[in-house]
Amino acid sequence: MKIQAIKPQLTSLSSFWTDEAPTLRIPTIQRQFVWDAEDVRDLIDSVVNGYLMLLDALLHRNGATNWAGKNVVSEECAVHHIFPREYLKDHEETRAECINCIGNLTLIDPGINSEIGDRPPEDYFQEYKDPEIFERHMIPSDPKLWKFENYERFLDARLKLMWTKAAEMLNELR
């Protein structure tokens, strides 16, 4: 029996994303598996969970403020759950991978984080109506997505915004 060498096919990660559909195209080697939106979100979360430096880099590159008018500096900011942990748990969302998904995190002023507490985004976002804050923090601007019943759609939309910014940042490094 002759063993043949396998020559890997190198493909850019951005080529797996299609603008027509909010899904990732699966590499040939993975096609025997079925990936739904939750699986893709879990994959992305597993890659970046615990690596807030990606979030910090995206926010810095995007010129984001800490919601108090100062540029985001991770050492001076609080990690903010856009949909607060307790709010999600009160609505029976207990999956840590959804609560702590990078799509649900941003960096803001610690005082503002305390003021927000466990209020839902549809409530406290009214105090921060500046569209530039949402854009720079890659937060979907559609108020329908700020409601608990649309939480997973919110995560999908925000992760897509973050993916787009990450791809732009990586393309600049070429």
Q: Can you give the residue range of the structural domain that contains 71?
A: 50-172
Q: CA–CA separation, 11 vs 40, rounded Å?
A: 18
Global pTM value? 0.71
109-160 confidence digits (pLDDT tens): 999 999 999 999 999 999 987 889 999 999 999 999 999 999 999 999 999 9
Q: Which stretches of 62-149 are DSSP H helices? A: 85-90, 96-99, 110-116, 121-124, 131-136
Tell whether the model's pLDDT for residue 11 goes beyond 60: no
58-79 confidence digits (pLDDT tens): 999 999 999 999 999 888 898 8
| Pair 93, 151: CB distance under 8 Å | yes
Q: CA–CA separation, 102 vs 47, rounded Å?
A: 10
| Residue 39 belongs to a domain | no
> What pLDDT, on a 0 to 100 scale, did the predictor assign at position 9?
47
Q: CA–CA separation, 71 vs 39, rounded Å?
A: 34
- Please report, rounded to a whole number, the percentage of residues in the chain having pLDDT higher than 70: 71
| Residue 128 belongs to a domain | yes
| Residue 73 belongs to a domain | yes
Instruction: Give the three-state DSSP class for 111.
Output: helix
| Residue 20 belongs to a domain | no
Into how many domains does the chain fold? 1
> What pLDDT, on a 0 to 100 scale, did the predictor assign at position 160?
95
Q: CA–CA separation, 145 vs 106, rounded Å?
A: 16
